[in-house]
């Protein structure tokens, strides 16, 4: 069952057409990713879903509500993660939760949320003294304090180190396991690939693909790549002569072979036949980066904001 339906959404800021006719549906209980490079229109889309921006055209339904018209009712069912730095510096973690809890008649237990998010020991810590990961977890706690049915998380792990990022992914899975539908905005391919049940890829205000991460990758007619480390220089002709091989190159001391078909087998046996000693031989799997390139003709690039 779709809990969010977006149909023909359009939003312009002056000369900039930020969202240009985007349609998608989010099912109950899934982690749905909106993935795209800088300026693709991701935040504008979710802000329209959250009822903080008014669409120029199109229809949005969130659990049967019109987000813009029914903003007050929407607050009770949708929790949005606030952007970094949105809290007063001196506000303590426990105070922030108590304040946000007071907005709801039937909110979550702040102590339980603190424990779930690993913030119990930080209850008396001021916002300004939290680490990046802790501040991020607090913002997630605040999004969940109203016991929402839908949580919108925007650039959830930007600025976090790899461990904190993985911890946050686990946390999002736990949130989904409690039955909350998660709408996740991200520009991290790995995050979308690891976490999302389905991903909408947005580019220049348009939706260019919508599928499971596996489906997006499987649909690719992308060339395969085999990488290995040769013990000594060798004549590339032993590989370029193979039907499966399109190109042989070098990258960071490794040989990179691009081609089609059963490339790994063809390359490995040719190397053995010609007495080339190779280590760390592996087939590189296609990723969402490859899917983006195939869909848009451009490599995926994203700059983090200051």
Ligand X SMILES: Nc1ncnc2c1ncn2[C@@H]1O[C@H](COP(=O)(O)OP(=O)(O)OP(=O)(O)O)[C@@H](O)[C@H]1O
81 contacts ligand X (rule: CB under 6 A): no
Consecutive H or E run containing 280: strand 278-284
Give the Cα separation of 11 and 172 in Å (integer): 29
Sheet holding 57-62, edge to edge: 16-27, 2-13, 57-62
Among 44, 81, 157, 181, binds ligand X (CB under 6 A): 44
Nearer to ligand X, 53 or 176 (CB): 53
Q: How far is the CB of 40 from ligand X (least distance, A)?
A: 4
174 touches ligand X (CB under 6 A): no
Q: Say whether residue 43 binds ligand X (CB under 6 A).
A: yes
Least CB distance from residue 42 to ligand X, whole Å? Answer: 3
Binding segment toward ligand X, per CB under 6 A, in 36-44, 106-114, 217-225, 289-297: 36-44
Distance between CA 51 and CA 65 in Å, rounded? Answer: 10
Structural Rg of the chain based on CA atoms? 23
Does the footprint of ligand X cover residue 51 (CB under 6 A)?
Answer: no
C-beta of 41 vs 148, nearer to ligand X = 41
CB nearer ligand X, residue 19 or residue 145: 19
> What Cα–Cα distance (Å) separates residue 242 from each residue in 77, 221, 257, 259?
59, 20, 11, 10
CB-based contact 178:148 (threshold 8 Å) = no
- The correct pick among 3, 31, 35, 42 for binding ligand X (CB under 6 A) is 42
Which of 4, 6, 9, 18: binder of ligand X (CB under 6 A)? 18
Q: Binder to ligand X among 6, 24, 26, 41 (CB under 6 A)?
A: 41
C-alpha dihedral (171, 174, 180, 185), degrees to nearest 10: 30
Note whether 133 binds ligand X by CB under 6 A. Answer: no
| 31-35 vs 181-186, strand pairing mode | parallel
Among 21, 25, 29, 39, binds ligand X (CB under 6 A): 39
The interface with ligand X within residues 182-221 (CB under 6 A) comprises 187
Taking CB under 6 A as the binding criterion, the range among 12-20, 78-86, 263-271, 287-295 that sits at the site for ligand X is 12-20
Q: By C-beta, is 116 or 154 nearer to ligand X?
A: 154
Q: Which of 4, 6, 36, 87 binds ligand X (CB under 6 A)?
A: 36
- The least distance separating ligand X from the CB of residue 206, rounded to whole angstroms, comes to 12
Both tokens of 210, joined, read 């919508």
CB 202 within 8 A of CB 249: no
Interior/surface letters 113-135, b for 16+ CB within 10 angstroms, e for the rest = bbebbebeebeebbbeebeebbb
Task: Check residue 134 for interaction with ligand X (CB under 6 A).
Answer: no
Distances from the Cα of 190 to the Cα of 140, 194, 260, angstroms: 20, 6, 24
**Is residue 48 at the binding interface for ligand X, with CB under 6 A as the rule?**
no
Does 38 help bind ligand X (rule: CB under 6 A)? yes
Binding site for ligand X (CB under 6 A): 13, 16, 18, 36, 38-44, 187
């Amino acid at each position: 069952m779709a809990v969010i339906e977006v149909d023909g959404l359009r939003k312009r800021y002056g000369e900039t057409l930020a969202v240009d006719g985007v349609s998608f549906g989010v099912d109950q209980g899934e982690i749905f990713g909106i993935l795209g490079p800088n300026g693709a229109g991701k935040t504008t889309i979710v802000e329209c879903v959250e009822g903080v921006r008014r669409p120029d055209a199109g229809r949005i339904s969130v659990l049967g509500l019109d987000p813009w018209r029914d903003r007050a009712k929407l607050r009770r069912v949708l929790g949005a993660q606030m952007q970094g730095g949105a809290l007063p510096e001196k506000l303590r973690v426990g105070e922030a939760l108590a304040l946000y809890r007071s907005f709801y008649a039937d909110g979550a237990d702040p102590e339980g949320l603190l424990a779930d998010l690993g913030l119990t020991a930080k209850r008396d810590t001021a916002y300004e003294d939290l680490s990046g990961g802790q501040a991020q977890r607090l913002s997630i706690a605040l999004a969940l304090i109203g016991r929402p049915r839908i949580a919108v998380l925007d650039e959830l792990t930007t600025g976090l180190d790899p461990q904190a990022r993985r911890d946050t992914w686990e946390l999002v899975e736990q949130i989904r396991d409690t039955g909350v539908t998660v709408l996740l905005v991200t520009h991290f391919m790995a995050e979308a690939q690891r976490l999302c049940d389905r991903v909408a890829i947005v580019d220049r205000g348009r939706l260019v693909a919508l599928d499971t991460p596996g489906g997006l990758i499987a649909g690719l007619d992308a060339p395969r790549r085999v990488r290995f480390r040769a013990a000594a220089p060798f004549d590339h002709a032993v590989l370029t002569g193979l039907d499966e091989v399109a190109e042989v190159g070098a990258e960071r001391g490794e040989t990179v072979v691009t081609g089609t078909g059963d490339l790994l087998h063809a390359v490995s046996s040719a190397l053995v036949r010609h007495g080339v000693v190779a280590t760390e031989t592996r087939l590189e799997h296609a990723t969402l980066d490859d899917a983006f390139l195939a869909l848009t003709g451009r490599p995926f690039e994203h700059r983090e904001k200051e």
